[in-house]
């Protein structure tokens, strides 16, 4: 370290060019630093403000609805940083070790030293296994939204949206507005849970009212909204042709050829794990998440978290958390930073956090499903392991911990690294061993965090060894 002057310090590295990463980059550039921003996606924006591959005649109002102004501001502000930072799109950061990052970009893997690391990796859909969920025509809610937003396609000609979370109604409404045929919305939570939203009114009236308006418009359009839906089964042989469920002891069935399914979101935490961050259980997200303070500092000096990758809080929070983490990085480097601004951001984040509690009560996660998941249901989509096989492995080997379960059953060992099955495996293990989900541990992350060609991984290892 001492051999290097300040100007020779490596760049700060920001992973993710969503709302969190963009605001972090902007704050670092404003302070005179030149960060490197990497993102797997071809353009900035992250999940919610994802851009199309080519223009298609739709306006940003068509794409982003009430959030169009925010989307435009973020895209514009990031574009304005051109020349003041380095930005690698279509770049997958697949490993972190010894202060270096392995990044796959344009068919090769590059090693990058970094000084200050902001992880703004976002979230993906959370799901639980249900019969038939591997059938063609079933997509996650996020996937259904991406098909519409970035590809301008509907996932079917008669579509059912199923699950829990604000995204359930939002995506159904977006499909309806786009002229797609929405057959029904199946909410896994009872209608009474929605009264919790009234508690959110004093905090964020506009958001609550917008949600109510969307629900009303879905109803007006004649779309059936069913609450308290349980024992859901997706039917079909080679693709979806119906969905069946039970409610109040009665059996229901609805023909459809596309299903958007999701139970809110889960944080992408693999990189924080590889960076060595300590994790702690987060009750609201029902997940072990990297520990961080209100500014985004982790247990590892120089590593910061921002946005949904640190715990689900939504896009408005992500913007603030990104900026806040950047201010922490500046402060920790002894650079000028704005403590008043930092305090404002933290107060706003705390307020959004209180709102998130309300949302969680209004759109609860049906963790209790796993106790009734049929043995024949596929739990791990990659390795095709059923719930019954997982149960058998738990009892045969007396398993109490998730990584042990992975070793004996292969759950979480497939290409997705447990992104899809991890939450279900944890809930099932907790249920089978009569403990809370906080007690079963979490799947350890491994490089590469997503599949990279073996030749690239080997070459990078050789380079690191030299």
Chain positions contacting ligand FAD, by CB under 6 A? 15-21, 38-41, 46-48, 92-93, 120-124, 142, 145-146, 167, 170, 265, 268, 271, 307-309, 314-315, 318, 449
> Nearer to another protein by C-beta: 236 or 353?
236
Please report how close the Cβ of residue 165 comes to ligand FAD at its closest, in angstroms: 9
Nearest to 450 by CA among 108, 93, 124, 14: 93
Please report how close the Cβ of residue 190 comes to another protein at its closest, in angstroms: 27
> Nearer to another protein by C-beta: 194 or 450?
450
Maximum alpha-carbon separation in the chain: 74
Please report how close the Cβ of residue 19 comes to another protein at its closest, in angstroms: 16
Q: Are 179 and 279 in contact (CB under 8 A)?
A: no
CA neighbours closer than 13 Å in the CB half-sphere of residue 233: 16
> Nearer to ligand FAD by C-beta: 236 or 414?
414
Residues 251-270 vs another protein: string with x where CB under 8 A? ------xx---------x--
d(CA 84, CA 401): 46
d(CA 359, CA 353): 10
d(CA 106, CA 116): 24
271 binds, among another protein, ligand FAD, none (CB under 5 to 8 A by kind): ligand FAD
CA torsion sign, 302 to 307 to 311 to 317? Answer: positive
Strand-pair partners of 103: 93, 110
Judged by CB under 8 A, does residue 136 bind another protein?
yes
> Nearer to another protein by C-beta: 115 or 125?
125
408 binds, among another protein, ligand FAD, none (CB under 5 to 8 A by kind): none
Nearest to 330 by CA among 10, 4, 33, 17: 33
d(CA 51, CA 58): 12
Judged by CB under 8 A, does residue 39 bind another protein?
no
> Nearer to another protein by C-beta: 145 or 373?
145
**How far are the Cα atoms of 204, 311, 373 from residue 361, in angstroms, in the given order?**
15, 16, 23
Residues 383-402 vs another protein: string with x where CB under 8 A? xx------------------
Pairing mode, strands 242-247 and 250-255: antiparallel
Structure letter (DSSP) for residue 27: H
> Nearer to ligand FAD by C-beta: 16 or 132?
16
**Neighbouring residues of 326: CB distance < 8 A, sequence distance ≥ 6:** 23, 24, 25, 26, 27, 28, 31, 118, 304
Judged by CB under 8 A, does residue 375 bind another protein?
no
Judged by CB under 8 A, does residue 137 bind another protein?
yes
CB atoms within 10 A of CB 237: 8
Q: Are 312 and 356 in contact (CB under 8 A)?
A: yes
Question: What 3-state class would DSSP assign to 94?
Answer: strand
Judged by CB under 8 A, does residue 40 bind another protein?
yes
Please report how close the Cβ of residue 150 comes to another protein at its closest, in angstroms: 8
Judged by CB under 8 A, does residue 97 bind another protein?
no
420 binds, among another protein, ligand FAD, none (CB under 5 to 8 A by kind): another protein
154 binds, among another protein, ligand FAD, none (CB under 5 to 8 A by kind): another protein
56 binds, among ligand FAD, another protein, none (CB under 5 to 8 A by kind): another protein
- Residue matched to tokens 């906080």: 438
Give the footprint of another protein on this chain (CB under 8 A): 40-42, 47, 52-54, 56-58, 124-125, 134-140, 142-144, 146-148, 151-157, 178-180, 238-239, 257-258, 268, 381-384, 414-416, 419-420, 450-451
């Amino acid at each position: 370290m001492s051999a290097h002057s300040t100007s020779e310090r490596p760049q700060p590295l920001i992973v993710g060019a969503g709302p969190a990463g963009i605001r972090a980059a902007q704050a670092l550039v404003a302070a005179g630093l030149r960060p490197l921003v990497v993102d797997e996606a071809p353009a900035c924006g992250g999940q919610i403000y994802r851009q199309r591959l080519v223009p298609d005649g739709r306006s940003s109002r068509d794409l982003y609805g009430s959030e169009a102004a925010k989307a435009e501001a973020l895209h514009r502000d990031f574009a304005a940083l051109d020349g003041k930072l380095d930005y690698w799109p279509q770049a997958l950061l697949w490993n972190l070790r010894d202060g270096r990052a392995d990044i796959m970009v344009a068919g090769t893997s590059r090693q990058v030293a970094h000084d200050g690391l902001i992880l703004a990796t976002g979230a993906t859909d959370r799901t639980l296994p249900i019969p038939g969920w591997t059938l063609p025509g079933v997509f996650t809610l996020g996937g259904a939204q991406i098909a519409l937003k970035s590809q301008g396609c509907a996932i079917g000609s008669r579509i059912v949206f199923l699950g829990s979370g604000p995204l359930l109604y939002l995506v159904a409404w977006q499909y309806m507005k786009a002229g797609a045929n929405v057959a029904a919305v199946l909410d896994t939570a009872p209608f009474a849970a929605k009264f919790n939203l009234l508690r959110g009114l004093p905090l964020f009236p506009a958001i609550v009212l917008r949600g109510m308006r969307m629900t009303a418009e879905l109803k007006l359009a004649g779309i059936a909204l069913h609450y308290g839906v349980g024992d859901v089964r997706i039917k079909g042989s080679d693709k979806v042709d119906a969905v069946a469920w039970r409610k109040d002891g009665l059996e229901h069935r609805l023909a459809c050829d596309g299903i958007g399914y999701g139970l809110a979101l889960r944080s992408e935490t693999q990189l924080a794990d590889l960076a060595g961050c300590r994790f702690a259980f987060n009750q609201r997200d029902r997940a072990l998440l990297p520990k961080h303070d209100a500014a985004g500092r982790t247990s590892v000096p120089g590593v910061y978290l921002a946005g949904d990758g640190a715990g689900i809080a939504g896009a408005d929070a992500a913007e603030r958390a990104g900026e806040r983490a950047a201010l922490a990085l500046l402060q920790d480097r002894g650079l000028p930073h704005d403590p008043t601004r930092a305090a404002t951001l933290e107060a706003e984040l705390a307020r959004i956090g209180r709102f998130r509690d309300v949302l969680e009560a209004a759109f609860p996660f049906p963790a209790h499903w796993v106790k009734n998941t049929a043995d024949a249901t596929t739990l791990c989509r990659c390795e095709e392991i059923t719930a019954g096989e997982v149960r058998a492995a738990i009892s045969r080997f007396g398993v109490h911990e998730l990584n042990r379960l992975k070793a004996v059953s292969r759950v979480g060992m497939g290409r997705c690294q447990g992104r899809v099955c991890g939450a279900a495996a944890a809930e099932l293990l907790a249920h089978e061993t009569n403990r809370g989900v906080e007690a079963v541990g979490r799947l350890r992350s491994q490089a590469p965090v997503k599949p990279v060609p073996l030749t690239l991984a080997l070459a990078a290892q050789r380079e690191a060894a030299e």
